[in-house]
Amino acid sequence: MQRLRGWLRIRLRNFRGIFLRVYLGILTALLAVSFLAILVVKAANQVRLEEYRERQADQVLITLSHLLQPLPKAQKVAWLQSQSDILGIEVALLSQIPAHLNAHQQQRLESGRTVVTPVNAPASSSLLAYRALPIREIVSSHKIPEEVLQVRFQRIDEQPLQVLLRLAQSQWQSIQTQLLTDPDAKEQALQHLNQALTYPLRLIALEEIPVGLDQVQEKNLLAGQLQIIASEAAYTGYLRPTSTSHTIFALGPVPKLASWPWTLLLGVGLMTVLLLGAAVYWQIRLLEQRLQKLEKAASHIASGNLNARVELGGQQDFIARLAAAFNRMAEQIQSLLNTQQDMIHAVSHELRTPVARIRFGLQILEDSLEQHPSLLAQLEGMDTDIQELDELVDEILTFARLGQNGLRLRFESCLIMDLVHEVVEAHQPLHPHLQLTVHQDRGAQDQGLADVEARYFQRAVQNLVGNACRYAHSQIQVYCWFEADSLRIDVEDDGPGIPEQDWQRVFTPFSRLDDSRTRASGGYGLGLSIVQRIMHWHRGSALIDRSPSLQGARFSLIYPRIQRRKEHPKSPAP
């Protein structure tokens, strides 16, 4: 029961941590985006409504202006008054721009556009539409209209269609006598009306009454009443020009204002998806950045920087607890490795003293047992064992020293070929049955200078050449390749080679591909590991593959020729 209670407490704490933060963040983003989407839809619909009103009113005002323009100025007012009675709307001609229009609306009028404003009266849904008639120029180049046409609409959806049909009927009736005497006058009059109207006006026969009209509407249409058919997307108006006419006016279609057009919905939906995606990405990105810090610290530790830690910050969620656990683990690993290195140093140094004493004692025994050859042979074997133990202590100390944090090498510009020749010449007398050859890249245009720490560099080459001498049958070849900014040294032998599956394992400390530890095979399993660490401090790498010419093993050292002395690589991975 106690375990269950503890498990639930941990789960609840994790729930309150990351989940609650992400959930509240996404919920807040959803509410904010929804509120913003509503504002965008309202603003877009308001703009669309104003444009629709102006477009609907514009049709009437343009038609009236077209019909009003040929009249003399003195007849314009009387004509508009007569049209007001016929059309059922209030039409007026103003001598100046109304004072209640703002600067933006006045500018639109002066540019020849229609302006629609609501009537400032209680409980009134009427709209006033304005359009400037011919414009005169002033000295200041500022355009001021001479006259402004004003129309009052009760409804802006169907009423403009009704007004246009009444205007067409009035014009048609005014030329009724001409239409009766001249058969071609009907087409000319219809063409003239279409030039004045912005929507298409057609004449259809009585027999072609639209299907959308019921019997009552057909009867009213034949009686001279105006009928409007509304579809999902538009209005179409029908009116009989005269009581004796055998044709009917059909005006339209006049598009409706769509409340939710697909373009608006698509735009708002796309905006919502993008904003929600950005909000979710921001929430996840915050968590990802914190996990990346953890990953970065882990990578530093894997590369050998044991001082890397994760900044905890002030949060107390699961990731913060994971970072704290990681830091404790890193401190424990660093402490264990430091203890291990201290122990290796201490043991290695402590071994040197008894080894030196044993060797001194053996030297004394050799001097006192010159007359006993069998005992001298045993002493020589013991001396050889002591020599190997001394070399092992030296290898361990070198390996431990190269694994220290903050190791500083003193790089010097050296002639690489001289250093390589010294190593090869030192090994040749020890292995007279082998042919050791050094080759230099003939394409090199300089003297073969490179920045190295001479002692460690020679140690790396010495380990490779010594390893090749241990397994070669007859010959060893050392190649030096000089590039503009890098150097490569290959050590090849004609021995049995190393299986490809073991290429990475040979660089592991104390790793041996054979299980024997006889003097025939030799080595302690640290030589290649020391080579790899020396190359690490030289910002290079040690590689292994098969020799293409000798068919044995080929070890390669690749590193830059110029070392940046002010910057030091991190300690190698343990």
Supply the pLDDT for residue 555: 92
What are the structure tokens assigned to 472, written together? 């070669």
Supply the pLDDT for residue 442: 56
Q: What is the tens place of the pLDDT at every residue in 90-142?
A: 888 888 888 888 888 888 888 888 889 888 766 667 889 998 876 544 444 45
Mean pLDDT, the chain, whole residue set: 79
Between 327 and 517, name the one with better pLDDT: 327
What average pLDDT score do residues 160-174 get?
A: 83
pLDDT at residue 378 tops 80: no
**Helical axes 159-174 vs 185-196, angle rounded to 10°:** 150
Report domain extents, the chain. Answer: 13-153, 157-259, 318-401, 407-560
Q: What is the tens place of the pLDDT at every residue in 412-437?
A: 888 888 899 999 998 888 888 888 98
Q: What is the tens place of the pLDDT at every residue in 397-412?
A: 777 777 666 667 788 8
Q: Which residues of 417-444 are buried (b: 16+ CB within 10 A; e: fewer)?
A: bebbeebbeebeeebeebebebeeeeeb
Supply the pLDDT for residue 490: 92
% of the chain surpassing 90 pLDDT: 4
Supply the pLDDT for residue 516: 39
pLDDT at residue 482 tops 50: yes
- Of 2-11, 69-78, 238-247, 263-272, the range with the lowest mean pLDDT is 2-11
How far is residue 307's CA from residue 256's CA, in Å, rounded to a whole number? 72
Between 513 and 89, name the one with better pLDDT: 89
Q: What is the tens place of the pLDDT at every residue in 547-569?
A: 988 889 999 999 888 887 545 55
CB 472 within 8 A of CB 434: yes
Q: What is the tens place of the pLDDT at every residue in 309-319?
A: 888 776 777 77
Q: What is the tens place of the pLDDT at every residue in 288-324?
A: 888 888 888 888 887 777 788 888 776 777 778 888 8
pLDDT at residue 263 tops 90: no
Angle at 275 (CA atoms; ends 274, 279), nearest 5 degrees: 120
% of the chain surpassing 70 pLDDT: 78
Establish whether the linkage from the previous residue to 253 is cis, with ω within 30° of 0.
Answer: yes
Fold of the domain built from segment(s) 318-401: Helix Hairpins (1.10.287)
pLDDT at residue 518 tops 50: no
Supply the pLDDT for residue 140: 45
Q: Which of 155, 173, 180 is nearest to 249 (CA)?
A: 173
pLDDT at residue 13 tops 60: no
Q: What is the tens place of the pLDDT at every residue in 336-346?
A: 777 767 776 66
Q: Please, what CATH class does the domain formed by 407-560 belong to? A: alpha beta
Supply the pLDDT for residue 493: 92
Predicted confidence band at 517 (pLDDT cuts at 50, 70, 90)? very low
How far is residue 167's CA from residue 383's CA, in Å, rounded to a whole number? 129
Q: What is the tens place of the pLDDT at every residue in 62-80?
A: 888 887 777 887 788 888 8
Between 89 and 141, name the one with better pLDDT: 89
How far is residue 350's CA from residue 391's CA, in Å, rounded to a whole number? 14
Supply the pLDDT for residue 121: 64
How far is residue 388's CA from residue 386's CA, in Å, rounded to a whole number? 5
pLDDT at residue 491 tops 90: yes
Could you please report the per-residue DSSP string of 282-293? HHHHHHHHHHHH
3-state secondary structure of 2: helix
Q: Which of 226, 208, 204 is nearest to 217 (CA)?
A: 226
Domain 13-153: assigned CATH number: 3.30.450
Q: Which of 147, 161, 229, 174 is nearest to 201 (CA)?
A: 161
Between 478 and 142, name the one with better pLDDT: 478
Supply the pLDDT for residue 190: 82
Spatial neighbors of 356 by CB under 8 A, at least 6 apart, are: none
Predicted confidence band at 453 (pLDDT cuts at 50, 70, 90)? confident
pLDDT at residue 7 tops 60: no
- Of 92-106, 226-240, 360-374, the range with the lowest mean pLDDT is 360-374
Supply the pLDDT for residue 332: 85
Q: What is the DSSP letter of 310?
A: -
What are the structure tokens assigned to 492, written together? 């090849």
Supply the pLDDT for residue 476: 92
What average pLDDT score do residues 151-170 get?
A: 84
What are the structure tokens assigned to 536, written together? 């690490």
Q: What is the tens place of the pLDDT at every residue in 179-208?
A: 767 767 778 888 888 877 778 888 888 877
> 224: left (phi > 0), else alpha (psi -120 to 50), else beta?
left
3-state secondary structure of 153: strand
Predicted confidence band at 172 (pLDDT cuts at 50, 70, 90)? confident
pLDDT at residue 16 tops 60: no
Laid out side by side, the sheet with 90-94 consists of 90-94, 148-153, 127-132, 115-118
Largest CA distance in the chain: 162
How far is residue 343's CA from residue 338's CA, in Å, rounded to a whole number? 8
How far is residue 55's CA from residue 57's CA, in Å, rounded to a whole number? 6
CB 283 within 8 A of CB 26: yes
Predicted confidence band at 519 (pLDDT cuts at 50, 70, 90)? very low
